């Protein structure tokens, strides 16, 4: 792969992940059905979701396997240590989600991992990722957009990294509630980080983002409405890890706010709903949270929700890229 141009490497990584994902789908879906790895639908949710009961879940493997294969093939040797750190964050987060999915859909325990157990698992993954960053000599500076400030966080960078990983992972998990929603918005954010990887000369992030785009496009072939498979927590937590890892490795941590605006909105909507419910003695601010369900209950189709969310993600990404130009990197 040494003679490949960067452009060819990006294209090859995306196409390889895409083709592997498309080939895997028809082979994996029957296995998930045979194992009865099925989605459980919330009874209090939108009525249109009741027909989704029994749809295979844990389909995140359909994009994680192609992603890893493409990364192994197309990440050059000099970039493999950083790629390993990013992949650990993706797969480690995915493993926490897999355990949650396994307990729910295989062992038939409706609650899955306790919130505390899931949190501990995510923190452990983030701590190991931080250790890998230290080994790589990763800067602990925080670059503030528009102001151009560079703040050395020192030991505070550790809890900052953990916070980013937790926020992105749980935000992605909340967003995954409509056919094709998280996968589609993550294609937009991954395309954004492909560009950021090139601009900041962290080319490994560009290559990994290209591979993720190809893998997600293949997954959307099976996850688009009406979905034949759901990604499950194994997929959503892994995608949160991918997004936070890309931001940290390119030193654009604060740009996650506009670029990951969908995750921010989904998380805030749930926080507002819970706080309002408690303070008003049972009244609801939204028809249902996270907020995509609010619009579904208001009559929006799933396809419309995905289209509007993707457009919002595009706008947020453009704001993020504008902010990038003020950071001096």
The span from the CA of 56 to the CA of 108, in Å, is 14
Mean pLDDT of the chain: 92
Confidence of residue 151 (pLDDT cuts 50, 70, 90): very high
| pLDDT for position 259 | 98
Q: What are phi and psi of 250, to 5 degrees?
A: -95, 5
DSSP 187-255: HHHHHHHHHHHHHTT-HHHHHHHHHHHHHHHHHHHHHSSSPS---HHHHHHHHHHHHHHHHHHTT-GGG
Cβ contact 41:49 at 8 Å: yes
> CA-to-CA distance for 46 and 50, rounded, in angstroms?
8
Residue 144: enclosing H or E segment and its boundaries? strand 141-144
Alpha-carbon distance of 135 to 42, in angstroms, equals 44
Structure tokens at 218: 């293949």
Tokens matching residue 225:
């409405």
Element at 114 (helix H, strand E): none
Confidence category of residue 1, pLDDT binned at 50, 70, 90: very low
- Compute the distance between CA of residue 267 and CA of residue 236 in angstroms, rounded to an integer: 14
pLDDT the model gives residue 78: 94
Concatenated DSSP letters of 48-79: GGGGGTT-B--TTHHHHHHHHHHHHHHS-GGG
First to last CA, the chain: 28
Total Cβ atoms within 10 A of residue 267: 22
Per residue in 165-199, pLDDT tens?
A: 999 999 999 999 899 999 999 999 999 999 999 99
- Comparing CA positions, the residue from 153, 93, 173 lying closest to residue 126 is 93
| Residue 180 near residue 226, CB atoms below 8 Å | no
Dihedrals φ, ψ of 143, to 5°? -100, 125
Contacts of 144 (CB under 8 A, 6+ apart): 150, 151, 254, 327
For residue range 5-60, list pLDDT tens digits in order. Answer: 999 999 999 999 999 999 999 999 998 888 777 766 555 566 566 566 778 889 99
Residue with tokens 């940290």: 248
Cis peptide preceding 226, ω within 30 of 0: yes
How much is the pLDDT for 212?
A: 98
- Residue among 272, 255, 269, 263 nearest 318 (CA): 255
For 260-304, give the DSSP string: THHHHHHHHHHHHHHHHHHHTTS--SSSSSSHHHHHHHTT--HHH
Q: Note the pLDDT of residue 33.
A: 85
Note the pLDDT tens digit of each residue in 244-296. 999 999 999 999 999 999 999 999 999 999 999 999 988 999 999 999 999 99
Q: Check residue 105 and give its pLDDT.
A: 75
pLDDT (tens digit per residue) in 65-120 = 999 999 999 999 999 999 999 999 999 999 999 998 888 776 665 566 888 999 99
Mean pLDDT of the 145-165 span: 95
- For helices 157-175 and 261-279, the axis angle rounded to 10 degrees is 80
Give CA–CA dist 323/316, Å, rounded. 11
Q: How far is CA 142 from the centre of its chain?
A: 22
Quote the pLDDT of residue 328.
84
Distance CA(41)–CA(72), nearest Å, equals 36
């Amino acid at each position: 792969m040494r003679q490949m141009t960067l452009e060819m490497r990006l294209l090859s990584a995306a196409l390889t992940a895409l083709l592997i994902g498309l080939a895997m789908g028809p082979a994996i879906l029957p296995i998930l059905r045979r194992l009865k790895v099925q989605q459980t639908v919330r009874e209090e949710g939108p009525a249109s979701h009741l027909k989704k009961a029994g749809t295979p879940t844990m389909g995140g493997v359909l994009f994680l396997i192609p992603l890893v294969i493409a990364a192994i093939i197309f990440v050059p040797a000099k970039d493999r240590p950083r790629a390993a750190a990013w992949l650990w964050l993706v797969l480690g987060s995915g493993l926490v989600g897999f355990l949650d999915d396994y307990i729910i859909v295989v062992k038939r325990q409706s609650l899955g991992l306790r919130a505390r157990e899931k949190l501990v698992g995510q923190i452990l993954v983030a701590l190991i990722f931080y250790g890998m960053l230290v080994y790589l000599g990763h800067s602990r500076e925080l670059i503030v957009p528009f102001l151009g400030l560079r703040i050395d966080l020192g030991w505070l960078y550790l809890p900052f990294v953990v916070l980013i990983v937790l926020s992105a992972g749980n935000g992605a998990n909340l967003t995954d509630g409509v056919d094709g929603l998280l996968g589609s918005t993550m294609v937009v954010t991954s395309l954004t980080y492909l560009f950021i990887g090139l601009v900041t000369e962290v080319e490994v992030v560009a290559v990994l983002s290209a591979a993720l785009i190809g893998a997600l496009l293949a997954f959307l072939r099976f996850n688009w409405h009406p979905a034949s498979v759901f990604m499950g927590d194994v997929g959503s937590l892994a995608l949160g890890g991918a997004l936070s890892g890309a931001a940290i490795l390119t030193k654009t941590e604060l740009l996650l706010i506009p670029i990951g605006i969908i995750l921010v909105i989904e998380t805030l909507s749930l926080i507002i709903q819970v706080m309002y419910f408690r303070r008003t003695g049972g009244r609801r601010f939204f028809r249902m949270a996270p907020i995509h369900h609010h619009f579904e209950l208001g009559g929006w189709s799933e396809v419309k929700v995905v289209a509007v969310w993707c457009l919002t993600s595009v706008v947020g990404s453009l704001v993020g890229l504008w902010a990038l130009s003020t950071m001096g990197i």
